[in-house]
Amino acid sequence: MKTMESDRWTVAVETISSGGIIVIPTDTLYGVVTSILHPKSVERLYHIRERNSTKPCIVLLSKKEELRSFVSQEIYETYSKLFSFLWPGPISIALPVEDSRWEHIHRKTKTIAFRVPDNTRLRDFLFRCGPVIAPSANKEGQKVASTINEAKVAFGKDIDFYVDGGTLKGEPSTLISLAEKDILIVRENPKTIKKLIRLLRDFGYNTCRFSQKKNL
């Protein structure tokens, strides 16, 4: 017998699969979510969220193997062990993406950040509907919604479906970039960054910080 909780996530999958836009609890914060397979929905999300049209969004995956649709075989094989080490987890990884099919996602930057969330229910959702973009649930420059009611105040009927996950007061994921020779730390989560740097160096990777943080 289905529970109300599973019914909500089934509706969420169906809404996403048909090109809708939803708000859901992610592994970090509430996110505004739509499928990467619907370019018009991606543009609608940018409009609803008032997001800078040149700024890419993080893509959520159900497993690391889905990266094969985006990055070169060389990139995938070079960093495969690192992906397995960091995912699932609150670490987003920016990678070079040359494929023109994903220009509506990388916004002509030829770089997309990916994450495999550390949340079984969320990964099941992603397995069922495919990769999604998931910027935080707020208008550009405004406070991130910590409850579904706050998200409804911000977006109202512009969102096709809302999934209530209670109060969320997490931090945005740490974001690292593998687009250069060294691992660049673009955005830091203070709760995880020291451990991450130590572990990366234990694995033989050099790390450095951007002098100016970028808000993705």
The answer to whether 97 and 70 are in contact (CB under 8 A) is: yes
Residue-by-residue pLDDT tens, the chain, 216 positions: 355 577 999 999 999 999 999 999 998 899 999 999 999 999 999 999 999 999 999 999 999 999 999 999 999 998 898 899 889 988 899 999 999 999 999 999 999 999 999 999 999 999 999 999 999 999 999 999 999 999 999 999 999 999 999 999 877 788 889 877 778 888 877 777 777 787 777 777 777 766 444 444
Nearest by Cα to 49 from 23, 29, 69, 72: 23
Topology of domain 4-209 in CATH is: DHBP synthase (3.90.870)
Determine the Cα angle at 86 with ends 165 and 206, to 5°: 135
Where helices occur in 57-192 by DSSP H, the ranges are: 73-86, 103-106, 120-129, 148-155
Dihedral class, residue 21 (left if φ above 0, else alpha if ψ from -120 to 50, else beta): beta
- Greatest alpha-carbon pair distance for the chain in Å reads 53
